[in-house]
Structure 1
Amino acid sequence: MSLSNAILRGVTGAFVLNSGLSKRDLPTEAAQGLQGFAATGVPQVTTMEPDTFGKFVSYSEIGIGAALLTPFVSPRLAGAALGTFSAGLLSMYFRNPSMTEADGVRPSQEGMSLAKDVFMAAIAGALITSK
């Protein structure tokens, strides 16, 4: 593994892993809020029970973070997992009009928290295309 690959995976993996660990014991109300927001990008999530959805998000983030931090997981596989995750986050960003300015691309103040996820998509692309 190259140094640049290790840096990309380490920083991003720690961030995603921490996010997943912090969601392990979401109260039902918080899971409902997260699910409602996620439904703006992926409407199918409304078919899940809120507590199940909260656990799904938590475990998914933990798994993706762990894959990024584990050296024997190939960069392409870790990048594909991160790319799928960031695509879901960006779909919420682009499908929610309050997240962007009138042009539909630049982030509004509300959209700044999701706009950063474009960096994870770029990191996923770098991992998938690395040698």
Structure 2
Amino acid sequence: MSINFRNLVLRTVPGAMILNSGIGKLGMPREQAEALQAMAVKGVPAFEKLSAEQFGKFLSYGEVAVGAALLTPLVPNRVAGAALAAFSGPLLSMYFNTPEMTEEDGIRPSQEGTAIAKDSWLAAIALALLIGEDRKDD
């Protein structure tokens, strides 16, 4: 299996950021897990059924797994892209379902929403990995 530069760039930067974020959340205090869960429920209401501890583990382990998948060359691009799409989808859902994160048009980010709106780049990278060509000459 050869790795091309395009895929290396698409996978390494978000992979490292997501892996680092997940590692930083391992063993997070209950209060932090509760705050993150309260935000996440706006995008994925089913998260409300989890305890704060369960949610904290789900989030931190999930981020570690997605980051590791992106950084592992043996994981095919489409699998890594699917993992990144599964990660970025709920972030975008939370963004669009939290009125204070957008301007009145419901699309452009408000000051409070800018940090989450930037995660739309993760969705774009996921799509690039899912639909990108795996050319043999790269």
TM-score (norm 2): 0.93
**Unaligned stretches of 5+ residues in structure 2:** none
Instruction: Please state if 1:110 is matched with 2:112.
Output: yes
Q: 2:74 aligns with which of 54, 60, 72?
A: 72
Aligned alpha-carbon RMSD (Å): 0.6
The Cα offsets for residues 1-60 of structure 1, whole Å up to 9 and x where unpaired, read as: 210101110001000000100100110011001101100111110100101100100000
Counterparts of 1:18-97 in structure 2 under 5 Å?
Answer: 18-97=20-99
Mapped partners of 1:45, 1:79: distance in 2: 23
Q: Which structure: larger Rg?
A: 2
Q: Percent identity?
A: 53
Paired amino acid for 2:47: V
Counterpart CA distance in 1 for 2:69 and 2:123 is 16
With normalisation by structure 1, the TM-score equals: 0.98
- Give the equivalent residue in structure 2 for 1:122: 124
- Matched position secondary structure for 1:40: coil
Q: 3-state SS of the aligned residue for 1:25?
A: coil
* Cα distance, 1:100 vs structure 2: 0.2
Q: Which amino acid letter does the alignment assign opposite residue 11 of structure 1?
A: V
- The amino acid that maps onto 2:15 is G
The answer to which structure has the higher helix fraction is 1
Query: Whole-Å Cα distance in 2 between the matches of residues 20 and 101 of structure 1?
Result: 29
The residue aligned with 1:16 is: 18
CA distance in 2, matches of 1:2, 1:123: 15
